[in-house]
Amino acid sequence: MSALPTLKEWWNNGGNFLLTRFGTYYAAYLGATKDNNIPNNCWGKSEEIGEITTSPWS
């Protein structure tokens, strides 16, 4: 991702991000997680891909 160096610079200079559930995997790439792992979602999977549901939410 070409924007990652700019995002890292923003983060390292005290900038903040409001990430969507899908966007939380950027936290690891920015060095914002203690173990540099991608956070789990509420189903225990990572958010490296978009929504995986095959039908509308009910």
Q: Tell me the pLDDT tens digit for each residue of 27-54.
A: 888 888 888 887 776 666 655 666 666 7
- Its pTM stands at 0.57
Count of domains in the chain? 1
Domain presence at residue 36: yes
Domain presence at residue 2: yes
What's the sign of the alpha-carbon dihedral 38, 41, 46, 52?
Answer: negative
Asked whether the beta carbons of 12 and 6 are under 8 A apart, the reply is no
Domain presence at residue 56: no
Domain range holding 8? Answer: 1-46
Domain presence at residue 51: no
Domain presence at residue 23: yes
Domain presence at residue 3: yes
